[in-house]
A and B are shown apart, each in its own frame.
Chain A
Amino acid sequence: DSGVTQTPKHLITATGQRVTLRCSPRSGDLSVYWYQQSLDQGLQFLIQYYNGEERAKGNILERFSAQQFPDLHSELNLSSLELGDSALYFCASSVTSKVAGELFFGEGSRLTVL
């Protein structure tokens, strides 16, 4: 158990819909990262937050948005969903934003868009 909690574990929805994925980082970790894992794209970095502020942005679509709340949990919002958004979405956390240490990954949220 990494200490990172992601909900829901599985989600099935239709094209055009909107979903919210939630992540609770390990106790004490200030940084949260979101990754998308799909068969054709591999593990893609989406976005990073540190203590509530956006720190780095990767290949995140405009239809996607994220935020980190004062209690440090984070949410990833995916809207106007397309079939290609079907993937495993991972949240990871670390103690600091300067990544010299270890990322702790949750077990992921599997999104299926039909």
Chain B
Amino acid sequence: AQSVTQLDSQVPVFEEAPVELRCNYSSSVSVYLFWYVQYPNQGLQLLLKYLSGSTLVESINGFEAEFNKSQTSFHLRKPSVHISDTAEYFCAVTSSGGYQKVTFGTGTKLQVIP
């Protein structure tokens, strides 16, 4: 069985400040990891993913996440947030190989304060 824990349900941060959204996972096998973003009244969109290779992955809008196997973490970071980053962010995990479901965390609401 696999699970994802997002400890912070809400994270307020001032505009242009850095932010880190935490994600820890649990799985007995190799995993793929994802961050999805949900803007108000919209569906989820993939932000970035780790499948293999470099443990640091980046998105096109400045977010990055680092896969840390020893700490079973996949924290999301951005050095300087914008108002437009206000959204809910979901960490997700699936086991590599086979026909596997994707398990999502409970989400973290990022509120960027002007």
What is the interface of chain A, defined by CB distance below 8 A to chain B?
2, 4, 33, 35, 42-43, 45, 48, 50, 55-56, 58, 90, 92, 97-100, 102-103, 105-108
Asked whether, in the complex, the Cβ of A99 is within 8 Å of the Cβ of B104, the reply is no
Q: Which residue of A lies closest to B9 (CB)?
A: A42
- In the assembled complex, B97 has its CB within 8 A of some CB on chain A: yes
Q: How far is the CA of A56 from the CA of B99 in the complex (A)?
A: 7
Complex CA distance for A102 and B59, rounded to whole angstroms: 14
B32–A103 touching, CB < 8 Å:
no
Chain A residues closer than 8 Å to B102, beta-carbon distance: 33, 45, 99, 103
Q: Which residues on the A side are within 8 Å of B106 (C-beta)?
A: 42-43
Category for how many chain B residues contact A: 20 to 34
Question: Of B100, B101, B104, which is within 8 A of A42 by CB?
Answer: B104
A-B pairs, 4 with minimum CB distance: A105-B43, A42-B106, A43-B104, A105-B44
Specify the main secondary structure of chain B where it touches its partner.
Answer: loop
Query: Distance in Å from the Cβ of A4 to the closest Cβ of chain B?
Result: 7
Select A100's contact among B43, B96, B105, beta carbons within 8 Å. B96
Cα of A56 to Cα of B2 in the assembled complex, Å = 14
Total inter-chain residue pairs, C-beta < 8 Å: 60
Q: Quick check: is B51 within 8 A (CB to CB) of the other chain?
A: yes
Q: For A48, A97, A100, which residue has the most chain B Cβ atoms within 10 angstroms?
A: A100
CB-defined contacts of B63 to chain A, threshold 8 Å = none
Neighbour of A55 across the interface among B36, B99, B107, CB < 8 A:
B99
**Of all chain B residues, which has the CB nearest A107?**
B43
Bound CA span A2–B43, Å: 9
Contact B103 A45 (CB under 8 A): yes
Residues of B within 8 A of A50 (CB): 99
Residue of B nearest to A9 (CB): B41
Known: A56-B100, A98-B99, A100-B32. A42 touches B43 (CB 8 A): no
Q: Output the residue of B32, B43, B106 with the most chain A CB within 10 A.
A: B43
**Residues of chain B from 21 to 45 with CB closer than 8 A to chain A in the complex:** 32, 36, 41-45
A4–B44 Cα gap in the complex (Å)?
A: 11
B39 → chain A, closest Cβ, in Å?
A: 11
